[in-house]
Amino acid sequence: MQRLFSTFANGWPGRGLLLLRLLTAAAVMHQGLSAFHDTGASALQTPRVIVAAAAVLLLAGLWTPIAGTLVAIAEVWITVSRQPGDPWYPVILAALGVAMAMLGPGAWSIDARLFGRKHIDLP
């Protein structure tokens, strides 16, 4: 995972990535959970369920590039399938998913704890 990012941003950039990740996850989760309130065909609900699962990963900052890619693909699927609602909302969420996949999770994430640089204490 570390090969995907040169660093896990800390400081103000890290806080910005945390904010971007949390807001993206909240918006995507809102759209994903709306699938459970709709009584439409299950084929239309599949991408929304995928989006909700990816939002949980984004919220935790786990497998962020994979989760961002899943969000982007599912949101494009929602846009192309012409589901009811504003067509620009999935486009914006797809762009945010792509941004999360490219930028990474930041220092305040599970990815940074699992795959970030380790400090070695020498005696």
Residues 6+ apart with CB under 8 A from 75: 28, 47, 51, 90, 91, 93, 94, 97
Spatial distance between the Cα atoms of 114 and 50, rounded to a whole number of angstroms: 24
Where residue 4 falls (left for φ over 0; alpha for ψ -120 to 50; beta otherwise) is alpha
- Where does the pLDDT of residue 71 fall: very low under 50, low under 70, confident under 90, or very high at 90 and above? very high
Q: Name the residue with higher pLDDT: 49 or 42.
A: 49
DSSP 81: T
- CA dihedral (112, 115, 96, 43) in degrees, to 10, reads -130
Q: Where are the domains of the chain?
A: 10-115
Domain topology for 10-115: Four Helix Bundle (Hemerythrin (Met), subunit A) (1.20.120)
pLDDT digits (tens, 9 = 90+) for 2-16: 455 556 777 888 888
